[in-house]
Structure 1
Amino acid sequence: MLTHKGPEDWRAANRAMWDERVPLHLASDYYDQDGFRRRRDVIRDFEVAEVGDVTGRTLLHLQCHIGQDTLSWVHRGAAHAVGLDFSEPAVEAARATAAELGIGPDRATFLAADVYDAAEAVAASATAPDTYDVVYTGIGSLCWLPDIRRWAETAASLIAPGGFLYLAEFHPLTDALDDESGSRIAHDYFSRDAWVDESPGTYTDFSAPTVNNRRVEWQHTLGDVVSALAATGLRLEFLHEHDMTMFQRFGSLERGDDGFYRLPAGRPRVPLMYSLKATRP
């Protein structure tokens, strides 16, 4: 089963949570907006190597949040990058950043829409291309979606012939491990239940006072993600599993010189992230 059930208010709750956190993220050291305005590039080295040269290509970034990754691909040569997110404050922030950098809507378009409605939003836009050489997404995105099959169908419908989907995401195995050490199975890897949490704060500042704290998430097994993409007719080019992650998911992780977090040397390794590329023939 690739569709999970959850509370009826999941979309409204998640949108309210993300809307409130946009200004917190814009002001945070984690996103470092001032630094981004100078560097204009936050794409991770492994993504650069796996996506390849985007010069002259069109790119669609699903669930783009405040647009830093989207604008980074423009900086790397994309002919036109489109960022889509369901949070209107996030999209407004992305548009403002683009304007500050002198990037017009002919190079970067930002759309406010639910990811499941991406095809309709693109079609209704006056500046967004209909299909894309690269559909890019991931790093904490899929957990907000209950229907992974519908996600795959939507993404696949927006890929131009010969184009591809690139996904970099946290490995679902990490959801099954204990939070303290990451060394034992503490949760059901195959759980289909929605995870509802009401903790205040955000990943850029866990102590931040926040009001809209209800959020609903789901976990998707690696098999479900790959099967959903395969069912659309896309051809899997690679599936890579990585021993590093973006943040201290477990108390035992150590940060390396490259900025990634890994298990201590000498401990058996497990995959903490994965990435894949699926091409439209």
Structure 2
Amino acid sequence: MAAEHTPDGMEAREDRADAEEGLAANRALWDDLAEFHGTDPADRSYDVESFLAGGQTLRGLERELAGDVADRDLLHLHCHFGMDTLNWARLGARATGVDFSPKAIRRARELAERAGLEAEFVEADAQRLPDALAGRFDVVVATYGVLSWIGDLDAWMGGAAAALRPGGRLVLVDLHPVFQTVLTFDPFVADWPYGGGAPQHDAMTGTYAHADAPTEPKKSTQYPYSVGEIVTAAAAAGLVVERLGEHTETETDGRHILPQGPDGLYRFPFSDTYLPILYSLSAVLPAPVI
């Protein structure tokens, strides 16, 4: 006799189908962005010519958290078209970049050749990292615009932890969930949930690197996670969180909606104080107890 399909089973299949549809739409979007980013003089985020001339794209925060990466194996998740991965290589790391966009990986390999730098680039979904990456790395890094694209936070954290050697470190720097709730600062409009992980469907025009980019609207799906959910997922993956930072002063707001101060830094004014723009997490995979 055929097994009955329970409502819960049907709902689970629908959730999986929705997740796969969202992943496919996001990959198509990032394929387009990978073709465009760094190709326009008005690009606000990717100065390829400066990079090729030796310019460093990494910010002080992630470099501080990662520490000295010379002669260390470093995995960069969500590497896009490779500039940051190759900058880790410039600092002496044996760098590997992962991205789910085949066009991003192709451009990353081309950029490595142009720059004369060595790095491995792997096309893969960060929620389903290849077994070949397991246990290979001293440092796993993911920065700026990361977890909002991840439908399965536990799978992402589990993959990052699995890629580490015992004693290895995850360095995560991303937009703060409070800041992500804000659509515009002036006037102040908040239109995104704080946490919960429910998929948020949208049609994206332009890009964060170039607001006036001549792009057609593209479907996207993003996911809001609270700080508590992120830390809990790290702990569930077996990582020991050593440092959690919430940063009210940054070199860039990542979304180009905040005012820039006379000192060149961005802040998120709120009453007579400031709200965080970024958070940073540093977590270690402990060695097994013998």
TM-score (norm 1): 0.86
Deviations 1:79-123 (A, max 9, x none): x1000001111111111111112223xxx1001111122233537
Distance 1:75 1:182 in 2: 42
1:116 has 2:127 as partner: yes
The 10-residue stretch of structure 1 (230-239 or 6-15) with the greater mean CA deviation from structure 2:
6-15
Q: Give, in whole Å, the separation in 1 of the partners of 2:152 and 2:244.
A: 21
Indicate whether 1:194 and 2:205 are aligned.
no
How far residue 180 of structure 1 moved from its aligned partner, in angstroms, is 2.7
Q: Equivalents in 1 of 2:145, 2:254: separation in Å?
A: 14
1:111, 1:121 within 8 Å by CA — same for their partners in 2? no
8 Å CA contact 1:41, 1:71 repeated in 2: no
Distance, in Å, in 2 between the alignment partners of 1:44 and 1:182 is 29
1:269 paired to 2:274: yes
Once superposed, what is the RMSD of the aligned Cα atoms? Answer: 2.4
Report how far residue 199 of structure 1 moved. Answer: 3.0
Corresponding residue of 2:86: 71
- CA distance in structure 2 between the aligned counterparts of 1:227 and 1:266, rounded to whole angstroms: 30
Aligned residues: 267
Partner of 2:137: 132
Larger Cα-atom Rg: 2
Which residue of structure 2 aligns with residue 127 of structure 1? none
Q: Measure the CA separation in 2 of the matches of 1:168 and 1:50.
A: 9
Counterpart Cα distance in 1 of 2:262 and 2:137 = 35
1:82 matches 2:82: no
Q: Give yes or no for the alignment of 1:102 onto 2:116.
A: yes
Partner of 1:57: 72
1:13 and 1:212 in contact (8 A); partners too = no
Structure 1 unaligned spans of 5+: 124-129
Counterpart of 2:21 in structure 1 is 9
Determine the C-alpha separation between the residues in 2 that align with 1:132 and 1:182.
45
Is the CA contact (8 Å cut-off) linking 2:199 and 2:222 kept in structure 1?
Answer: yes
Please name the residue that 2:4 is paired with: none
Q: CA 1:255/1:112 → structure 2, altered by over 3 Å: closer, same or farther?
A: same
* Displacement of 1:259: 4.9
- Out of 31, 37, 41, the residue aligned to residue 19 of structure 1 is 31
2:38 and 2:48 in contact (8 A); partners too: yes
How far residue 276 of structure 1 moved from its aligned partner, in angstroms, is 0.9
Change (3 A) 1:258 1:91: farther
Q: 1:152 to 1:158 in 2, by over 3 A?
A: same
Change (3 A) 1:210 1:86: same
Is 1:149 paired with 2:154? Answer: yes
Structure 1 257/93 Cα, relative in aligned 2: closer, same or farther at 3 Å? Answer: farther
Aligned to 1:218: 223
After superposition, the C-alpha distances for 1:124-166 in whole angstroms (9 at most, x for unaligned) are xxxxxx5100000121011111110111111100101111100
- The one-letter code of the counterpart of 1:194 is P
Residues 163, 98 of structure 1: CA spacing in aligned structure 2 closer, same or farther, 3 A cutoff? same
> CA separation in 1, counterparts of 2:254 and 2:27?
25
- Residue 9 of structure 1 aligns to a residue whose secondary structure is helix
Alignment of 1:159-178 (within 5 A): 159-177=164-182
Evaluate the alpha carbon distance shift between residue 258 and residue 51 of structure 1 in structure 2; reply closer, same or farther with a 3 A threshold. Answer: farther
Please give the secondary structure, in 1, of the residue aligned with 2:169: strand
Partner Cα separation in structure 2 for residue 263 and residue 182 of structure 1: 13
User: Aligned partners of 1:276 and 1:247: how far apart in 2?
Assistant: 18
Output one character per residue of 1:160-190: Cα deviation in whole Å (capped at 9) or x when no partner: 1111100001000113345234867654323
Distance 1:137 1:205 in 2: 22
Deviations 1:198-223 (A, max 9, x none): 13211122222223611110111111
Percent identity, aligned pairs only, is 37
C-alpha distance after superposition, 1:7-31 (max 9, x if no partner): 5411111111111121210213330
Q: Does the CA-based 8 Å contact 2:73-2:137 persist in structure 1?
A: yes
TM-score w.r.t. structure 2 length? 0.84
How far 1:250 moved relative to its partner? 7.0
Q: Which has the higher contact order (CA 8 A, sep 6+)?
A: 1
Cα 1:12–1:273, aligned 2, differ >3 Å: closer, same or farther?
A: same
